[in-house]
Chain A
């Protein structure tokens, strides 16, 4: 969503690119190859992995955007704890629970991975745009580079891990 932070520059952008699959439209799945994909968020369950693999399959260049995609972010706080302990702490032994709890186990729920993985540990990532979120300027800088066929590099003031 930090793409929107590029503000009015988005008007410039729409003249130059076609948006295919994105949260801005209602298209949920790829039906063709695209040039560039941006992924945000790490992989915490099997669905995330599937979706990320779909992105990799359909994007010529895949970019990992933001701290969660790069190191798992806040969800990765569970990574040092272990999945079982984490689920039990939340659903069985939590201090706010009344009565016996249960770990949600609906068959439609995707299974959680043993930890939250950054995107580059699941698929090949071509470039990274760090930040939490990356600033509009950083996004714009990255986009400009890609549009001119260059590797995105960020100047000091735009490269932030936070």
Chain B
């Protein structure tokens, strides 16, 4: 392997470094939710206490302090990732205790093994992730008995399992909504040395955390689903691609896998079914939103940069290691397990005609009860707001930054593939919030997460962010707005993958749904320069120590 290839890969992921950084790595989440819950104050407290700014490393090499994008804790933010451990509901008052604990080197926190163990985390204040499930529906009603769905599946032929999933009308829960039965059938019938089933647990869409909840609270159901899928498509290998931010779940997930092996639910001749050999391994991501895109996930699994692939060929024909591969969301696999357990009729009795079943919604922001809600498809935004205690919302971001900015006039719209299609992220914003400031933060998010492979996304996301900065500064003109809209549409049409194709959404959908907010910020002139003369002269004033000649700035 060439050094240039190593750097190519390492420099892609936020969690890898090319130069030594602090022994303790403090990464504060900067979702809009984290910000409105006081992340800035927490950051200042860390900064003051360590004597460094965000992005810097302390002189003694003990601490690096930085921002990170979503870490899947939007219901308990401000949250931070410290050496892979999760700290939640932070306030500035927590900071001294956290730093003191980290300085206590004999506890081994600073040199913690990675992934971290629960025992390590116990030594850190605020290292407690609150259970996130607020409302369970039919899918998650307890008790959950391990392997029920699996045993039901193994009583059928693989083809019959796929038939069941197909007639249940189960569609991918990541948001794209591809019919799961069809995906499994296509993968099964593709020729290959091996077949792979991957579980996409790279839930990086800011504001979503339902997969984290499922992995923490229903791991056996996830692995049941994965094993059923393995059986259905004739695979021996299941891989759970776990986002690096969720490394704190590693230990318990591995424990669950060990138990399943000891019970004969993994390994050779599973549940006595001769010839069905299947095992699951877990691979960690390293901080890249794009890896939630299935072809990027495959590249990442192969140890490369997580840049998307061109399709065709689709993963169902040539995916992981060029072999037929099905990739399913955590929630989709749980649905599959339950469908086999409880039957197709049970599943299709919930939801709408085109969206069967229920959906897990991760709710965060300005509402009384943030957390995960299981609701039938078809529920309207206002019903959901009533449920979570967010009735005075002025704006709801459905399906994360890549999704829809929904204004009150559209709160009657429903959560369903045929209307507001969503992976589950639902961020609620109350009357005190600035919609365009949130859109700006989302625009920045895409600048940071664009993989760089293709021009429209790599450059377009930056240009859009700059356009949005002008809007927020009150300097954009009407023609700036129409140019920004045209640029956004070009990025949508020309980008290579879903990231670029949806990156302009925060701007395009707020323009459409909140035009009055843009109008209120317009500069009422036909043209404003890119930079004010005052700003363009600032450096010269500093260097030369005198004021501009002309009064007009």
Contacts and interface: CB of A to CB of B under 8 A. Distances in A.
A103 to B, nearest CB: 7
Interface in B515-551: 526-527, 529-531, 533, 535-546, 548-550
B544 A111 contact: yes
Given A113-B536, A114-B537, A114-B538, A46 B543 contact: no
A103 B544 CA distance: 8
A79 to B, nearest CB: 12
Contacts of B535: 114
A96 interface: no
A127 B526 CA distance: 16
Contacts of B536: 49, 113-115, 117
Q: How large is the interface on B (under 10, 10 to 19, 20 to 34, 35 or more residues)?
A: 20 to 34
B527 A123 contact: yes
A107 interface: yes
Given A46-B549, A105-B546, A112 B527 contact: no
B539 A121 contact: no
A121 B530 contact: yes
Contacts of B549: 46-47, 107-108, 110-111
Interface in A105-145: 105, 107-108, 110-115, 117, 121-124
Nearest to A112: B540
Interface in B71-94: none
A3 interface: no
Contacts of A105: 544-546
Contacts of A50: 550, 552
Nearest to A113: B536
Contacts of B543: 83-84, 87, 103
A124 B523 CA distance: 14
A50 B548 CA distance: 12
Contacts of B526: 124
A117 B529 CA distance: 10
A113 B544 contact: no
B539 A46 contact: no
A46 B544 contact: no
Given A49-B533, A107-B546, A113 B527 contact: no
B535 to A, nearest CB: 8
A56 to B, nearest CB: 8
Contact of A46 (B533, B538, B542): B533
A87 B529 CA distance: 25
A114 B533 contact: no
Contacts of A117: 529-531, 536
B261 to A, nearest CB: 58
B252 to A, nearest CB: 50
Contacts of B544: 103, 105, 111
Given A46-B533, A50-B550, A84 B539 contact: yes
Interface string A66-84: 0000000000000000111
Given A46-B548, A83-B543, A105-B544, A111 B529 contact: no
A87 B539 CA distance: 11
B463 to A, nearest CB: 13
A123 B546 contact: no
B529 A122 contact: yes
B527 A114 contact: no
Contacts of B550: 46, 50
B537 to A, nearest CB: 5
Contacts of A112: 540
Contacts of A111: 537, 540-541, 544, 546, 548-549
B507 to A, nearest CB: 21
Contacts of B530: 117, 121-122
Contact of B539 (A83, A108, A122): A83
- The 9 A-B pairs of least Cβ separation, nearest first, read A124-B527, A111-B540, A121-B530, A113-B536, A114-B539, A83-B539, A122-B529, A84-B543, A112-B540
Given A82-B539, A103-B544, A114-B538, 15 more contacts: A46-B537, A83-B543, A87-B543, A105-B546, A108-B549, A111-B540, A111-B548, A114-B535, A114-B539, A114-B540, A115-B536, A117-B536, A121-B529, A122-B530, A124-B527
Interface of A: 46-47, 49-50, 82-84, 87, 103, 105, 107-108, 110-115, 117, 121-124
Interface of B: 526-527, 529-531, 533, 535-546, 548-550, 552
